Amino acid sequence: MNFEFDETERAILDNANAFLEKELRDDAGRYRDHMVPKEVMHALLKRLSPFGFLGTLIPEADGGSGLSFLMSIRLYEELFRVFPALAGTAFVNQMVGYGLYMDGTSEQKRRYLPGLLSGELIGCQAATEPETGSNPKDIRMRARRDGDGYRLNGRKIWISSGSIADFCMVLVRTDDKQTNRMIVDRAGFTARELETLGQRGWSTAELNFDDAWIPESQRMGGQGAGAQQTLRDFTVARCFAAIMGVGTAQAALDAAISYARQRHQWGKPIGQHQLIQEMVADMATELDCARLLAYRAAWMVQQGIRADTQASMAKYYASEAALRIASKAVQIHGALGLSRDLPIEGYFRDARMISIPDGTSQLQQLIIARNILGLAAFGDAKR
Ligand SMILES: Cc1cc2nc3c(=O)[nH]c(=O)nc-3n(C[C@H](O)[C@H](O)[C@H](O)COP(=O)(O)OP(=O)(O)OC[C@H]3O[C@@H](n4cnc5c(N)ncnc54)[C@H](O)[C@@H]3O)c2cc1C
């Protein structure tokens, strides 16, 4: 396993980091607790695009950035550390682009991919429904045959980027009871923004499809394979979710280190008290474990090695570790850690979000154990 970057990659990372720190820090602070409006998000995505953030899952020949997956994960680690709302929206754009690249028709790719890669378009993907969360194979939303297209009715919930999306890649059940992914432009659904505990700069919405008609050409390839495609994409998505945990935790640890050096109690910096040192040591060790698990999963994906177990381990561990690390960062700040004047309590709220989407911690545990034991406690027994 090799996590080394060559000179060009290091230069890309340095450039991207300098840009994030110098150009986006202020915006990140402004939108820490307020949703980034659609037009602002488009402008931010367009500024990210030249650094390769938006096309990392697509080969260069097809318009992608040509960066390795591990490199992509490193870039997102920095972006999640600095600007979680922008990182989240860009991550969803990447996943929608990946889905289109893998299963879209050439017409769909021509129509949507360039806009996703440039920031001109914002996409979202919708599987979850009010009655169906952890098991996407159970979705109920219907797409009934109507002429040379489909009529869609149903509700999707907790959809990231939902209220600012220009189009949605939605998982539906067709008349033959099979699941399919379809692309619905913004005019085909309404969106209601949902308030959440953390990640408040990043849209999370309920989408309502009320008799929306779409032509057959908007159905994605792989007839009847919609749920399977959604599950396949989870390996990549879980690497991103893991790195979301790493970036969030790094921001919390950075703040804790800086505060522990500068805050004095009992005549010395609090960082010189052994129990604060214990917390810092635990935070740094857990963060490194999370980071290495995420890099390993990404490296395996990049090598074309099956990595569903490792992606689940990375997502499970990193999301839970991020919460522990962010909680200790609050503790080290004392009362200030609870104050809305500092971003620390925000890191804690953001970290709490990560163990739910892209498969809850319990689902990751079940996947890991199923793959090790060869015995499934849920769904079908297949890996
Ligand atoms: C911030 C955020 C963003 C999201 N973004 C998207 C998105 O873009 N697109 C999308 O389609 N969805 C999205 N979701 C939805 C997310 O995928 C679901 O919330 C998640 O899959 C869990 O589903 P649920 O909330 O319905 O919980 P449920 O499935 O109802 O689970 C409730 C509890 O039961 C546990 N549980 C469930 N099954 C088992 C089992 N077999 N054994 C043991 N415990 C079990 C779960 O771990 C959980 O603790 C998002 C959610 C959040 C919070």
Where residue 199 sits, what CATH number does that domain have? 2.40.110.10
Question: How far, in Å, CA of 91 to CA of 77, rounded?
Answer: 11
Mean pLDDT along residues 67-84? 97
Residue 2 in any domain: the answer is no
Residue 381 in any domain: the answer is no
Domain count for the chain: 3
Check whether residue 112 and residue 23 sit in a common domain.
Answer: yes
205: left (phi over 0), alpha (psi -120 to 50) or beta: beta
Structure tokens given for 257: 């280190």
Question: How far, in Å, CA of 166 to CA of 125, rounded?
Answer: 11
Of 94, 134, 164, the residue with max ligand 1 atoms within 8 A of its CB, to mutate for a pocket test, comes to 134
Give residue 204 CA to ligand 1 midpoint distance, Å: 14
What tens digit of pLDDT does each residue of 39-56 get?
Answer: 999 999 999 999 989 988
* CATH number of the structural domain spanning residue 259: 1.20.140.10
Give residue 358 CA to ligand 1 midpoint distance, Å: 7
Q: 63: Cβ–Cβ under 8 A, 6 or more apart, which residues? A: 55, 113, 114, 117
Q: For a pLDDT cut of 90, what percent of the chain falls above it?
A: 95
What tens digit of pLDDT does each residue of 98-146 get?
Answer: 999 999 999 999 999 999 999 999 999 999 999 999 999 999 999 999 9
Smallest CA separation from ligand 1 atom 43, residue = 362
Question: How far, in Å, CA of 374 to CA of 369, rounded?
Answer: 8
pLDDT at 193 over 90: yes
Question: How far, in Å, CA of 332 to CA of 260, rounded?
Answer: 7
pLDDT at 287 over 80: yes
Question: How far, in Å, CA of 344 to CA of 60, rounded?
Answer: 39
What's the 3-state SS for 336-373?
HHHCCCCCHHHHHHHHHHCCCCCCCHHHHHHHHHHHHH
The pLDDT of residue 208: 98
Residue 156 in any domain: the answer is yes
Which residue in 158, 123, 157, 163 sits closest to 38, CA to CA? 163
Give residue 29 CA to ligand 1 midpoint distance, Å: 29
The pLDDT of residue 380: 60
Check whether residue 145 and residue 169 sit in a common domain.
Answer: yes
pLDDT at 327 over 90: yes
Q: How confident is the model at residue 379 (pLDDT cuts 50, 70, 90)?
A: confident
Identify the weakest region by mean pLDDT among 54-63, 175-184, 236-245: 54-63
Check whether residue 234 and residue 339 sit in a common domain.
Answer: yes
Residues with CB under 6 A from ligand 1: 124-128, 133-134, 158-160, 196, 204, 353, 356-357, 360, 362-363, 366, 378
Asked whether the beta carbons of 137 and 107 are under 8 A apart, the reply is: no
pLDDT at 339 over 60: yes
Give residue 22 CA to ligand 1 midpoint distance, Å: 36
The pLDDT of residue 117: 95
Mean pLDDT along residues 361-380? 94
Give residue 131 CA to ligand 1 midpoint distance, Å: 10
Q: 196: Cβ–Cβ under 8 A, 6 or more apart, which residues? A: 204, 353
Could you give the C-alpha distances from 375 to 186, 317, 379, 381, in angstroms and in order?
42, 22, 11, 7
The DSSP call for residue 239 is H
Smallest CA separation from ligand 1 atom 26, residue = 133
Which residue in 169, 71, 179 sits closest to 122, CA to CA? 169
Asked whether the beta carbons of 181 and 120 are under 8 A apart, the reply is: no
Give residue 203 CA to ligand 1 midpoint distance, Å: 17
Asked whether the beta carbons of 169 and 96 are under 8 A apart, the reply is: yes
Could you give the C-alpha distances from 44 to 49, 89, 352, in angstroms and in order?
9, 10, 25
Among 121, 150, 181, the domain-final residue is 121
Mean pLDDT along residues 354-380? 95
Question: How far, in Å, CA of 69 to CA of 255, rounded?
Answer: 28
Asked whether the beta carbons of 28 and 86 are under 8 A apart, the reply is: yes
Check whether residue 88 and residue 106 sit in a common domain.
Answer: yes
* CATH number of the structural domain spanning residue 21: 1.10.540.10
Which residue in 226, 225, 180, 237 sits closest to 57, CA to CA? 237
Smallest CA separation from ligand 1 atom 35, residue = 362
Range of the domain at 72: 7-121
The pLDDT of residue 302: 94
Check whether residue 272 and residue 359 sit in a common domain.
Answer: yes
Check whether residue 116 and residue 154 sit in a common domain.
Answer: no
Smallest CA separation from ligand 1 atom 38, residue = 134
Mean pLDDT along residues 160-183? 97
Mean pLDDT along residues 16-44? 96
Which residue in 359, 375, 364, 290 sits closest to 324, CA to CA? 290
Check whether residue 152 and residue 97 sit in a common domain.
Answer: no
For all residues of the chain together, what is the average pLDDT?
Answer: 96
Give residue 136 CA to ligand 1 midpoint distance, Å: 10
- Locate the ligand 1 atom nearest the alpha carbon of residue 202 and give its number: 1
The pLDDT of residue 66: 87
Check whether residue 328 and residue 202 sit in a common domain.
Answer: no
Of 206, 236, 356, the residue with max ligand 1 atoms within 8 A of its CB, to mutate for a pocket test, comes to 356
Check whether residue 351 and residue 242 sit in a common domain.
Answer: yes
Could you give the C-alpha distances from 177 to 141, 173, 223, 227, in angstroms and in order?
10, 6, 11, 12
Give residue 135 CA to ligand 1 midpoint distance, Å: 8
Among 92, 121, 150, the domain-final residue is 121
pTM of the predicted structure, to 2 decimals: 0.97
Check whether residue 215 and residue 253 sit in a common domain.
Answer: no
Give, for 107, the enclosing helix (H) or strand (E): helix 106-118
pLDDT at 264 over 70: yes
Identify the weakest region by mean pLDDT among 144-148, 219-223, 330-334, 365-369: 219-223
Could you give the C-alpha distances from 277 to 17, 126, 147, 272, 328, in angstroms and in order?
28, 44, 68, 7, 11
Give, for 90, the enclosing helix (H) or strand (E): helix 84-103
Q: 335: Cβ–Cβ under 8 A, 6 or more apart, which residues? A: none
Among 121, 156, 189, the domain-final residue is 121
Check whether residue 116 and residue 31 sit in a common domain.
Answer: yes
Give, for 248, the enclosing helix (H) or strand (E): helix 226-262
Check whether residue 313 and residue 347 sit in a common domain.
Answer: yes
